[in-house]
Structure 1
Amino acid sequence: MTFANVGTLGAQPGSRDALVAILTRPSADLAAAGCLRYDVGVSAEHPDTVFVVELWVDAESHHASLGLPSVRAAIDEAMPLLSGDMGGFRFDVVGSPLGGAA
C-alpha cells in the first residue's frame, strides 16, 4: 500500500534556501529505493519552514531509504540548518479521485 510522509522542517533563520537546495538535489537512489514522489515547498507566510511531501511504494521502503549512504549524507549536511521545529503526518494512502491504485 502506498505510504505518505508529509511534514514540515523548521530552518534556522536565513537557512531555508540552503535547506531547499539540499532537499531538491536529484537522487536516483530515492527512486530505486521505492520513492514515487518527493516534493519540497516553501510559503511566504512561513519563511523559516520547508514543507515536504513524500510518496513511497510502502512504509518499509521509506524506512529502508534512511539507511542509504546518499540519504545519510544529505541528512548530515542538512542537520546544522534545522531549528528542531518539525511536524507532520505519516499514513497509508487508501485512494485518490485521480485514479490509480493506492
Structure 2
Amino acid sequence: MYGLIGKMLAQPGKREELLAVMMEGQVPMPGRRSYVIARDPASPDGLWITEVWDDRESHAASLHLPAVQATIAKARPLIAGFGERFETEPLGGIGI
C-alpha cells in the first residue's frame, strides 16, 4: 500500500470554505482505501490530509480524474500553500 500525510494551508480566514470544497469533492476512486481531512488545531488555517491507496500508481492516476481536477480548480484560489508532506507504507488497520 501507499500512504500520504500532508498539510494544506488555506488563505487566511478561508479554512472552512476550503474544507467544504475538499469534502464535497469526495467520490469513490479506484485504489483509494482511505481519505481523511482534518482541521489542524494548532493552526487556524491548516488542514491535514491522510490518504491510503493500493499503490503509488493509483494515487497518481487519481490526479487525472475529472472529479479531482474539478476539486483542484475550485480549491486552488483558497490554498495559500502546503506544509509538511510524508509518504508512508501502510501495513493495515481498521478501514483500509
Q: Tell me the TM-score normalized by structure 2.
A: 0.87
Distance in 1 separating the partners of 2:83 and 2:74: 17
Q: Who wins on radius of gyration, i.e. which is larger?
A: 1
- Residue 48 of structure 2 corresponds to 51
Q: Report what 2:13 is aligned to.
A: 14
User: How many residues align structurally?
Assistant: 94
Partner of 1:27: 27
Give the CA deviation at 1:43.
Answer: 2.6
Q: CA RMSD in A?
A: 1.8
For structure 1, which runs of at least 5 residues remain unmatched after alignment?
Answer: none
Q: 1:86 to 1:76 in 2, by over 3 A?
A: farther
TM-score when scaled to structure 1? 0.83
| Unaligned 5+ runs, structure 2 | none
- Offset at 1:24? 1.4
The amino acid of 2:77's aligned partner reads P
Distance 2:19 2:81 in 1: 16
Aligned equivalents of 1:61, 1:85: Cα separation in 2? 22
Pair 1:79 & 2:76 matched: yes
Deviating runs (4+, > 4 A) in structure 1? none
